[in-house]
Amino acid sequence: MVPAQDVLIATSLILASAFLWGYLKWRARQPILLLVGAIMLGAAAGYETYMHFVWEPTVHAPIRLDVFVLELPLMLLGVVLGVCSMIGRKAPPG
């Protein structure tokens, strides 16, 4: 069975990479929102990686409420921003 932290890290990194690739290669309607979504997901992945591999081994019984209070809302907001930036087409110039 795969630990939940690994799923959060992998999901965040995959979505952040997809949004960053979309920002660099695809003409999104709101490219800045796509970049902000990628940054938010990357921050969530970095935070979870630190907590899982550095902080958790140093405590006896880690109770991770920060996952529900901080990480999941941050990931959800990043996904919503990224998806909303891709809806529709960019207006033609002029």
How confident is the model over 19-60, as pLDDT tens digits? Answer: 999 888 887 788 888 999 999 999 999 999 999 899 989 988
> Is 27 inside a domain boundary?
yes
Report for 29-33, 70-74, 83-87: range of highest mean pLDDT: 70-74
Phi first, then psi, for residue 63 (nearest 5°) are -105, 115
> Is 15 inside a domain boundary?
yes
> Is 93 inside a domain boundary?
no
Of all residues in the chain, the percent with pLDDT exceeding 90 is 51
82 contacts 19 by C-beta, under 8 angstroms:
yes
Q: Domain count of the chain?
A: 1
> Is 18 inside a domain boundary?
yes
Domain residue limits at 68? 4-86
34 contacts 23 by C-beta, under 8 angstroms:
yes
> Is 94 inside a domain boundary?
no
